[in-house]
Structure 1
Amino acid sequence: MIQLLSMVILSEMAVITVLSFKTPFRKLVIMGLDLVKRGRGPVVVKTVAGTVFVVMMSSLYSIQKRWADDGVTNPTDQILMVTSLLEATLMGGTLFLALMIDRLHHYIKELRIRRKSMDALRKQVDLDKVKALEEEVTTLRGELKQAESDIETKTKQISAAKVNSVALRKQSEGLLLEYDRLLEENESLRSQLKSLDQKLSRLDSKKNM
């Protein structure tokens, strides 16, 4: 009995060690525990655990009763009492380690579920960020197109203004040339008038003589 319980405890300790570290064997152990917890597995485990617990309590009760009634009288009783106490201790250790394995398995599964939910939430947040960035890019593209159209309109207006300024400059140059021509004609007319005045004054002076 002691050897069997010792082997069970060593096996449970090995399972706890495997569950405590991330190794390829942990997946196999988790799959095995998942299979144990399916179907009639939980009922069988609870039945075995209940039986071990009852046997442990009966052993402790018998030890306590023998100690209270007769006391330790000879070495044989001492050996039997120590053996019973060791068996009860091993049974308690077996139940405790089984509970530890169950809780570790539960927490590992819960951690995996939470990680998956966090990854899904993170992906959703990333998708929302991508959508927001795409909308921002679309808005910026629209603003860029509007700016390009405004620049094109302004460029056309500037080109038209340049053309108008060139036309006005040519027109002003033509007006200046016309003004210069008119000034020259005016000067020539003045000179002609002066010459006529001089001729008239000469004629008048001749008549008076």
Structure 2
Amino acid sequence: MALVLVLLFRSPLRNLVTKVLDKMKEGRGPVIAKTVAGTLFVVFISISYNIIEIQKRSLEGGVLNPTDEVLMANQILEASLMGFALFLALVTYRLHYYIKELPKTKRLEAAEETKLKPDVKHHDLKEHPKRATASR
């Protein structure tokens, strides 16, 4: 959560974090990150399946026994933690991507604006010849 907050606001720490994330994405980093995320996702699905099984038992029997209640609470906490970790990893990945692409996008927009400005002025002179002669 702190990593997301650091990435949201411009600061020297943000520059440091983006450099660290850049280094992590070099080489085998992305493969390892995707493997870990895939493993977490599979375990998340497994825990969710176990929660559903415990709920089915409660529907069949009518009441949960204390052991099932404790198991279900533990499973829900584990699923919440894994889901939150996966969500934060996704948000961090996208924020890093947008921070890296933002300067490139701004440069491209500025280049397009400079290309369009002479055309707009020339277009205005054609439409309003009185303005063109009055300004001379």
TM-score, with length taken from structure 2: 0.74
Q: Distance in 2 between matches of 1:42 and 1:55?
A: 20
- 2:66 matched to 1:78? no
Deviation at 1:75, TM superposition (A): 2.1
- Please give the residue correspondences for 1:37-116 in structure 2 after superposition, counting only pairs within 5 Å: 37-70=25-58, 73-116=64-107
RMSD of equivalent CA atoms: 2.0
**1:86 aligns to what SS in structure 2?**
helix
Work out whether 1:17 is the aligned partner of 2:1: no
Q: Structure 1 residues 69, 76: closer, same or farther in 2, change over 3 A?
A: closer
What residue is the counterpart of 2:19 in the other structure? 31
Residue aligned with 1:18, SS: helix
Partner amino acid, structure 1, of 2:13: F
The number of equivalent residue pairs is 111
Runs of 4+ in 1 over 6 A off after TM superposition: none
Contact 2:57/2:64 (8 A) holds in 1: no
Which structure is richer in relative contact order (CA contacts within 8 A, separation 6 or more)?
2
Q: CA deviation at 1:103?
A: 0.7
Q: What are the within-5 Å matches in structure 2 for residues 152-171 of structure 1?
A: none
Q: Secondary structure at the match of 2:10?
A: coil
The offset of 1:74, in angstroms, is 2.1
Preserved CA contact (<8 Å) 2:54 2:68: no
Secondary structure of the equivalent of 1:27? helix
- Flag the 1:73–1:118 CA change in 2: closer, same or farther, 3 A: closer
Query: Whole-Å Cα distance in 2 between the matches of residues 112 and 102 of structure 1?
Result: 17
Q: Which runs of 5+ in 2 are unaligned?
A: 119-136
Give the aligned residue type for 2:68.
Answer: D
- Give me the identity figure in percent: 50
Looking at structure 1, the residues matched to 105 and 54 of structure 2 have their Cα atoms a distance apart, in angstroms, of 52
- Give the equivalent residue in structure 1 for 2:123: none
User: Whose Rg is larger?
Assistant: 1
Query: Is the Cα contact below 8 Å between 2:6 and 2:13 reproduced in 1?
Result: yes
- Structure 1 length-normalised TM: 0.49
